[in-house]
Structure 1
Amino acid sequence: MVYRYNFNAGPGALPKEVLEEAQAELQSFQGMGASIMEISHRSKAYEAIHFEAQQLIRELMGLSQDYEVLFLHGGASLQFSMVPLNFLTEGKAAGYVHCGTWSGKAWQEAGKIGETRLLASGMETGFKQMPDLSRLPLSGDMAYVHLISNETIGGIQCHSFPDTGEVPLVVDMSSDIFSRPIDATPFSFIYAGAQKNLGPAGVTIAIVRRSLLECIPDTIPDILSYRIHAKHRSLYNTPPVFSIYMVNLVLKWIVKQGGVQGIGARNRQKADLLYNVLDNSGGFYEGLAYKDNRSIMNVTFRAHNPEIENRLLDELEQEGFLGLKGHRDAGHLRASIYNAVTYEQCKALSDFLIGFQRSNG
């Protein structure tokens, strides 16, 4: 089977231009006669990539000097533990917003380390809608508030963020970082696995307010301390060199697309294209997420009966569409339309869905 259209939820699609550039340099990076995966992470050649990527993140997000940009191992799932290890200090409690599978995992991990409080939950709607974030029960003894900006499984997304006042706001943006313009100022800590919008799996980007680093206890193992990683500019140990190299190429590609403003406008067009098919299908297709919280990254939907849905999935695969079967926690179908997925690919999917309905309606 040759797949022509990649809608995988993660690792997700990468820009064709980036893959071609990496392919050209794979065996000999910058004419050195060695691959980027073979040179020292202490070399000037690698450090140039490393620091350039950090600077591009700063520029694209409009970060002030109040923030450090880190490259970490372990994926976003490690951050579920590292965040409370670093910030959930004695006598404090951490507040969690439960809006789906991934936020539930983060909340569960934090509970192993210290006191947590459930501030809001989307469980009553089956995680088809973000819970109300406008009236979170905050208190002065809270170490931070944690939420996830985009839940890939249910296909819901925060379109605005809560004002947490003096309580640090921690957000997992793994599936929608750099997909739209955001103001980073309200956030004290942002983290994101790269494998959806920024590169291959293997590196996690973390953006941390410097004042938060001062609160980290000395009792944490160095390899798990954000303060240690910041002090060493993410070179405390061998970084995931190839993944960071790829992130650097993707960041340059985003700049060429008009930055996050250009990417955001295109992502909205892609999402509107697919949601219009669902909304105008007369019930043949139905979106899983409530309209006011629909994700522009993960379009989740079902067909009107299981037999038709199974036929649809089979025919999609036969026609070269990859990754459209939904996550086991939600089932049905999911089109992940991350930054590298083109409008033309989304148009091909929307045309196929319309044609399938005509043949099977």
Structure 2
Amino acid sequence: MEQHRAVVVGAGIGGLTAAVALRQRGWDVTVLERAPGLAPVGAGIALAPNALRALDVIGLGDPVRDLAAWQGDGGVRRPDGRWLCRTDARAAAARFGGPLVLLHRATLVDLLTSALPATAVRTASPAGLDDPGDARRPARVSTPDGTVEAELVVAADGLRSAVRTALFPRHPGPRYSGFTTWRTVIPAPERPFAPHETWGPARLWGSQPLKDGRVYAYAMAAAPAGARAADGEKAELARLFGGWHHPVPAILAAADETGILRHDVHHLIDPLPAFHHGRVALVGDAAHAMQPTLGQGGNQAVEDAIVLAHHTGHGLPVPAALAAYTADRLPRTTALVRKAARTGRLALLSARPAVALRDTALSAASRFGPGLILRGFEGIADWCPPAAAEPRRVS
């Protein structure tokens, strides 16, 4: 039986997960990646129970759990070290059906790539969408080797997605959130610490241990778009966070300037009208880039990939399957983009009276036990993949 052909544009987490899931559904999949290789990029990633259940569908949930650090008890602190609220890892796992785990993005990319044939991923292969196709004709993608026709194109080409722009040229695209982020991975300091986020005026810091003995650290602060430190990002972080509690100064001392990543945070706060057009589907940041404040960006890309493969694996015509995919994913991710933006505004309040009120509210909520804090992740971390039943038929 002849296999239907799918082309995935972009070899990030969403694109590779989609490639694995589609291949397991019988698709002949080619992944086109613009970069010259899949060299380790990025820093850490937290995978919540919703993403782990999605990875279970393609047999990779347990390998991720084995390679990752399971997050222990932690919470939110003030810059002086005082705990505002504590989290209970066991209570969270019981409530949401599993742990939150942390690993390096490169580890996850390697795991996903290993589930594909070596010939499936083509690097140094920028792709352009020539024709999205429709019910009567395939989609067409241009590559350095010529034009490729496919029954399905998955656009996983990130925040600045060229495919999204081609499909929805009137959409305003990503907007700057007002915040910039830093990320790095360093050897763990000698003095132990509990996983934490620390919220200060217009600034946020997080320290999370990885399984291999390193620490994933991230920071976020209000800043003008495009601003960069003249004397380097390590010096900028020291100015912003050097006086905060342990382990922040120790992490900053161990950080290497070349290993600090800084990116302004842009998000698709204006939702797209759909996540598909013709035979093309958008996944991950190309569809719904969000602020990192919920830790759900990569998780939602994984969900997208599994739901997309579910709908395209039941024999529906591709345009109808993609309409069902949009119907499933657009409302959920739109709500999460907006919730992440609200959380960002709360975490990075700058006015001292507002910061004091926020901190008091967090402390008060913590006194009622972990249940009240965990309630904020209901409907997020407890998500389950669609059942193996026939998908909804959406015109």
TM-score by length of 2: 0.25
TM-score by length of 1: 0.27
Report which of the two has the higher share of strand: 2
